[in-house]
């Protein structure tokens, strides 16, 4: 989703099929586990391209559609690593900090069009991607530090996203909700 033309074509196809876009959830990300001194600029740009540039392009394209409709819900998936400052993920942490900052700024700009913009910052979650990669070993480290000492599940994150997408969240914008079993407790 970090190619402007691909994003424009996707939005055009969705509009042709459904005639509207009410909700956008930006959840694409890459999470490479690399000590900062081993991150070269190509790797830095790859993470920023997927995690930040793609989100920006989707928000811009869908935001225009939502502005015309006078309504919309944008939910950006951030991460609790920005709060925790998790080591060996410096480029990922920086990208998720950018997501949180962009979420706040965009909320201030497009709220007047009836669009809310929020972020959800999950902790380590037992998803297919996590379980297939090197991050699955992180549970041994993270779970004992959580107030609720168990692995997070996608089902733990989804209700928060659903709430932010709902009419009940009409007065919530520019916020980041941390859903991490009390790992960061703030």
| 72: its two tokens | 């919309």
Query: What are the start-end ranges of the H helices in the chain?
Result: 4-18, 41-48, 54-69, 81-84, 90-110, 128-132, 139-142, 154-165
Closest CA to 61 of 51, 72, 50: 72
| 149: its two tokens | 């000492």
Q: What is the DSSP letter of 166?
A: S
Q: Which of 18, 71, 92, 141 is catalytic?
A: 92
- Please write down the long-range contacts of 130-139, taking CB distance under 8 Å and 24 or more positions apart: 133/31, 134/33, 135/31, 135/33
Distance in angstroms (rounded) separating the CA atoms of residues 119 and 78: 6
| 162: its two tokens | 């659903």
Whether 92 sits among the annotated catalytic residues: the reply is: yes
Active-site residue numbers? Answer: 92
């Amino acid at each position: 989703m970090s190619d402007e033309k691909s994003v424009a074509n996707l939005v055009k196809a969705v509009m042709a099929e459904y005639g509207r876009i009410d909700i956008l959830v930006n959840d694409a990300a890459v999470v490479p586990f690399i000590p900062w001194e081993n991150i070269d600029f190509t790797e830095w740009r790859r993470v920023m391209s997927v995690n930040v540039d793609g989100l920006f392009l989707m928000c811009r394209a869908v935001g225009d559609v939502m502005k015309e409709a006078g309504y919309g819900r944008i939910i950006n998936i951030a991460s609790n690593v920005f709060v925790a400052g998790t080591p060996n993920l410096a480029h990922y942490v920086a990208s998720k900090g950018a997501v949180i900052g962009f979420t706040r700024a965009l909320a201030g700009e497009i709220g007047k069009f009836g669009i809310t913009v929020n972020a959800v910052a999950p902790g380590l979650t037992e998803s297919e991607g996590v379980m297939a990669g090197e991050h699955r070993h992180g549970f041994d480290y993270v779970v004992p530090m959580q107030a609720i000492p168990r692995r997070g599940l996608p089902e733990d994150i989804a209700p928060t996203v659903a709430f932010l997408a709902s009419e009940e969240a009409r007065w919530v914008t520019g916020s980041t909700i941390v859903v991490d079993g009390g790992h960061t407790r703030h």
